[in-house]
């Protein structure tokens, strides 16, 4: 029950949420509007109560799904889950919660496989699941660009499909709708997370950011896998939020860290060696890389909050603790609980013939020193 209530607690703890939609199979009926993140701005406190009510309704939907499932609808149904790579901090949280919630809503036959970040390996695993006659597949693709091939294969075998975490492109999502296929995507709009990262920095104000006094925000960008829309949008929208706040930006470096702590550490160490005190802000597309960045920042004798700023995305526990003690400026909660529950509910809806919308969304939540403790408490 605690986890079902998490979204409610978060909505009360912060006012920065977007349209509600987490944890509900009746979330959005359409693909996300391209302009959605451009409207990314903290909701006024007055809207918080309404949002809380919406999220509470979502939690009630989740409870209903669990109740339906408990009636035995999904027991004995085979669910296959393909994860792009087990060795990924965020996807490990997601996968663990997904497995436990699939069990909670009554699935008894669950197989989860590791694609080891290799599309050929994952495609073989999908073939095996099809041959095994699974009733539904939940797929976190290694390459989102392989989605059309995956969809054709899975739909061709008459198996419903729930994509998670790596969003296929618009043309692919349109195909599901045009053909009335049992395919959906569950995830958050990465533009929102990028915007929130930028806002965390912009809210500090130029005077606090501009250590070198050149009147600009001098930043470096550490990107996740550039094939993922999450990396593309976080990179673009974090900077856009600074510009939208009227700040002039100067990119000193842009490197690909593939969501990985060690790569993040190496890249930031190199960049600090090259650009030294000119770097005022380190944007990391995720927290795993921010943790690596923090090590290099410390090793270079710099201090977050004093002569440099650092932001990530995901709200890994370690990072939220760092936000509380000030060693990381901020992060953005990537709600693995709402996403995994929505994915499991969508799988249940497919196998019980209820069907799903083609896009099931979820909101990110900005995490700064102001609300980090309440976020941490809710996650525990």
Where do contacts with ligand GAL occur on this chain (CB under 6 A)?
88, 90-91, 165-166, 224, 228, 230, 259, 286, 288, 313-314, 334
- Least Cβ distance, residue 366 to ligand GAL (angstroms): 15
Whichever of 23 and 115 has its CB closer to ligand GAL, that residue is: 115
Residue among 15 and 144 whose Cβ is closer to ligand GAL: 144
Report how far residue 290's alpha carbon sits from residue 265's, in angstroms, rounded to the nearest whole number.
Answer: 8
Q: Smallest gap, in angstroms, from Cβ of residue 27 to ligand GAL? A: 18
For 49, the token pair is: 């109560």
| Gap between the Cα atoms of 328 and 349, Å rounded | 40
CB of 162 to ligand GAL, least distance (A): 15
Q: Which is nearer to ligand GAL, 97 or 182 (CB)?
A: 97
Q: Which residues contact 149 (CB under 8 A, 6 or more apart)?
A: 123
Q: How far is the CB of 58 from ligand GAL (least distance, A)?
A: 20
10 in Cβ contact with 378 (< 8 Å):
yes
- Can you tell me the distance from the alpha carbon of 194 to that of 39, in angstroms, rounded to the nearest whole number? 12
Helices vs strands, H then E, count in the chain: 14, 12
Q: What is the DSSP string of 170-222?
A: HHHHHHHHHHT-SEEEE---HHHHHHHHHHHHHTT-HHHH-TT-SSSEEEEEE
Q: Work out whether strand 249-256 and strand 217-223 pair parallel, antiparallel, or are unpaired.
A: parallel
Q: Which is nearer to ligand GAL, 215 or 226 (CB)?
A: 226
Q: Which is nearer to ligand GAL, 188 or 351 (CB)?
A: 188
**Residue 216 Cβ vs ligand GAL, minimum distance, rounded to whole Å:** 27
Residue among 80 and 224 whose Cβ is closer to ligand GAL:
224
E strand or H helix at 136: strand 136-139
Shortest CA distance to 318 belongs to which of 305, 299, 331, 308? 331
- Report, in Å, the least distance between residue 321 CB and ligand GAL: 17
The minimum distance between CB 334 and ligand GAL, in angstroms, equals 5
Q: Which is nearer to ligand GAL, 74 or 201 (CB)?
A: 201
Evaluated on CA atoms 7, 13, 17, 19, the torsion sign reads positive
Tell me the Cα Rg of the chain: 21
Sign of CA dihedral 283, 289, 295, 299: negative
Length of the chain: 380
CB of 286 to ligand GAL, least distance (A): 3
Residues 313, 339: Cα–Cα separation, whole Å: 15
**Residue 209 vs 231, nearer CB to ligand GAL:** 231
């Amino acid at each position: 029950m605690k986890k079902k209530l998490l979204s409610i607690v978060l909505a009360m703890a912060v006012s920065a949420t977007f349209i509600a939609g987490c944890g509900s199979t009746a979330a959005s009926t359409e693909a996300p509007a391209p302009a959605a993140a451009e409207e990314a701005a903290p909701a006024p406190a007055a809207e918080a109560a309404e949002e809380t009510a919406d999220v509470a309704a979502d939690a009630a939907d989740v409870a209903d799904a669990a109740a339906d499932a408990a009636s035995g609808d999904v027991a004995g149904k085979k669910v296959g889950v393909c994860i792009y790579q087990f060795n990924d901090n965020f996807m490990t949280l997601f996968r663990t919660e997904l497995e436990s919630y699939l069990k909670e809503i009554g699935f008894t036959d669950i197989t989860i496989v590791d694609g080891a970040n290799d599309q050929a390996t994952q495609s073989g695993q999908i073939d095996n699941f099809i041959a095994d006659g699974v009733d539904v597949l939940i797929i976190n693709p290694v390459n989102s660009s392989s989605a059309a091939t995956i969809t054709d294969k899975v739909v061709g075998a008459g198996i419903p499909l729930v994509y998670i975490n790596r969003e296929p492109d618009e043309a692919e999502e349109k195909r599901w709708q045009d053909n009335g296929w049992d395919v959906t995507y569950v995830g958050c709009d990465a533009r929102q997370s990028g915007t929130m990262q930028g806002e965390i920095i912009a809210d500090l104000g130029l005077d606090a950011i501009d250590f070198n006094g050149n009147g600009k925000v001098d930043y470096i960008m550490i990107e996740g896998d550039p094939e993922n829309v999450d990396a593309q949008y976080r990179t673009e929208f974090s900077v856009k939020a600074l510009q939208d706040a009227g700040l002039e930006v100067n990119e000193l470096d842009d490197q690909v860290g593939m969501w990985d702590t060690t790569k993040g550490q190496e890249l930031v160490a190199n960049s600090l060696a090259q650009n030294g005190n000119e770097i005022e802000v380190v944007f990391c597309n995720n927290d795993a890389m921010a943790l690596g960045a923090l090590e290099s920042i410390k090793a270079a004798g710099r201090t977050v909050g004093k002569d440099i700023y650092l932001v990530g995305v995901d709200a890994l526990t370690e990072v939220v603790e760092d936000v509380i003690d000030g060693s990381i400026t901020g992060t953005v909660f990537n709600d693995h609980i709402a996403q995994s529950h929505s994915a499991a509910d969508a799988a249940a809806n497919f196998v019980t013939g209820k069907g799903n919308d083609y896009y099931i969304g979820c909101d990110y939540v900005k995490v700064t020193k102001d609300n980090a403790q309440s976020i941490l408490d809710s996650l525990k």
